Structure 1
């Protein structure tokens, strides 16, 4: 188990320019596109019931009170008062498996940018942001910080983390018992990781019940489909060596398809609601992927 420690490292200077650019993009998105959609997606259980009101076009259909609707013969919905002090805990599983990318950008780079954008959008919406970082051999936790300055510091800490060595251990177990102790009930858990098929963490169902939990995964084009009829050399970050691929082999393609199905099935098992799964492709703009995900939340989601 990686050693758990409190993070006291000063804010690194290297990510400053990147953070400024991401903050500008995040603020523009909030002002033009996702102002209400962010709160719809991340309200978690941090809401208190206020009263029942008539349903209006554009309201979230998930809030419809079906008992009142049936009794009065027209749609009514529950109105909630939001608790302002919402805490969003970012869990970043920095596995060496994230260091793969077939077209310039790695899964790790995609997830880092997505996490930073979400932190900055959270800052604009006056939420509190905490960060649990885990890599092979180490884990640390930054308690929840409010305000632009505090959240910029958390985002810079994450972006400033060096990529784990490809010559070291491949696994980085997450300290779920620590998450259970530190995450306040009703807060939001955002888990960024590779989500390779494995046994469900022992405490996961309990955590999923206590919190709104969202899984964020990065997909490379090769995760979806291998290039056809090619012989390729690819570096396997988990094995630490070059791997030869013959994509014209039916057995190779069948093995890849089976792996993809297992990976998707595991992700769906961990996050049964489709709205609680966010997949960002390496070739896409992470901000646009977030906008599309928020938009889906705003219009109501269904179980997969």
Structure 2
């Protein structure tokens, strides 16, 4: 458990590191991935790295001698909502980072990229039920407040209900938006809610997992405590049958999630607490942009 000073240092580090990454690497990728072509022409502006070449206004470019792109009303009105699972399992981590640390860093990168592009960002924190809701607003200070809330929040409800979180999003956000669902997806009975939300919104699922959830340490007899139910279990990590079952269960869970997202037509980013999350996000945005260009 971090003390107050350690927590403040971690929050500050995430904020600074994320803002630097957005400025240096992520802003263009974000803009290419999420800035769709609207139906109402608004203005032209100078071309920026990452802009879709299909949006170049060749007449203005030829007249001014510098590349310009068309902007549309849809760009100005883009809103992002982040649904973040902070149930007990989010605080598990076998290395230097917990799942909460990892999802907070990914959130920070995407949210600062949105703020950099003057988009609105909203936040929904949930566990067994929705616990916090910050409506979508613009600004980096708004994002910094969200990072602080995610890292400090202590859950009040037990278990995990992705179903409740998605239904809440649909209630508070009637218009279509870009939505990110962060979770380890250790839940059930949310398939219909996922399909419904993916139909209403541009939905991406971000599945954060820890390596120890699929591969047990070879440490003999150990005692485990379920972070959500509090149940204690003693296991033999050297048991080859148990080790195989754990690996198979994790593989099955990931396979089922991929199938569910595919059927719901929701994007899926699966990431480990030990991965380079910045490169994985850039790869995810590029893949998303290529799919959009091919559509």
After TM superposition, the score normalised by the length of structure 1 is: 0.72
Greater shift, 100-109 or 196-205, is seen at 196-205
Distance 2:261 2:159 in 1: 24
Q: Is the 8 A contact 2:100 2:151 kept in 1?
A: no
1:169 matches 2:169: no
The SS at the match of 1:22 is helix
| 1:1-304 correspondence runs (5 A) | 17-43=9-35, 47-48=37-38, 81=72, 82-136=74-128, 139-162=131-154, 164=155, 169-172=158-161, 174-196=164-186, 198-228=188-218, 230-272=220-262, 276-300=267-291
Structure 1 residue 94: deviation in Å?
Answer: 1.4
Q: Is the 8 A contact 1:34 1:295 kept in 2?
A: no
Greater shift, 194-203 or 117-126, is seen at 194-203
Distance 2:94 2:22 in 1: 32
Measured at CA, do residues 144 and 13 of structure 1 come closer, stay the same or move farther in structure 2, by a change above 3 Å?
Answer: farther
Measured at CA, do residues 15 and 153 of structure 1 come closer, stay the same or move farther in structure 2, by a change above 3 Å?
Answer: farther
Q: Is the 8 A contact 1:128 1:151 kept in 2?
A: no
More helix as a share of residues: 2
Distance 1:289 1:18 in 2: 21
Q: Is the 8 A contact 1:219 1:280 kept in 2?
A: yes
Q: Is the 8 A contact 2:83 2:165 kept in 1?
A: no
Greater shift, 221-230 or 81-90, is seen at 221-230
Is there any run of 5+ residues in structure 1 with no aligned partner, and where? 1-11, 52-57, 64-78
Q: Is the 8 A contact 2:86 2:127 kept in 1?
A: yes
Give the aligned length. Answer: 264
Structure 1 residue 245: deviation in Å?
Answer: 2.9
The SS at the match of 2:192 is coil
The SS at the match of 1:271 is helix
**Cα-Cα RMSD:** 3.5
Q: Is the 8 A contact 2:80 2:121 kept in 1?
A: yes
> 1:174-198, CA deviations, whole angstroms, 9 ceiling, x for partnerless residues?
2433311222433111111121252
Distance 2:12 2:94 in 1: 28
Structure 1 residue 15: deviation in Å?
Answer: 6.4
The SS at the match of 2:205 is strand
Distance 2:102 2:81 in 1: 19
> 1:32-78, CA deviations, whole angstroms, 9 ceiling, x for partnerless residues?
322221123334xx532589xxxxxx9979x9xxxxxxxxxxxxxxx
Structure 1 residue 31: deviation in Å?
Answer: 3.0
* Greater relative contact order, per chain length (Cα 8 Å cut-off, separation 6+): 1
Structure 1 residue 220: deviation in Å?
Answer: 0.8
Measured at CA, do residues 176 and 229 of structure 1 come closer, stay the same or move farther in structure 2, by a change above 3 Å?
Answer: closer
Distance 1:180 1:128 in 2: 17
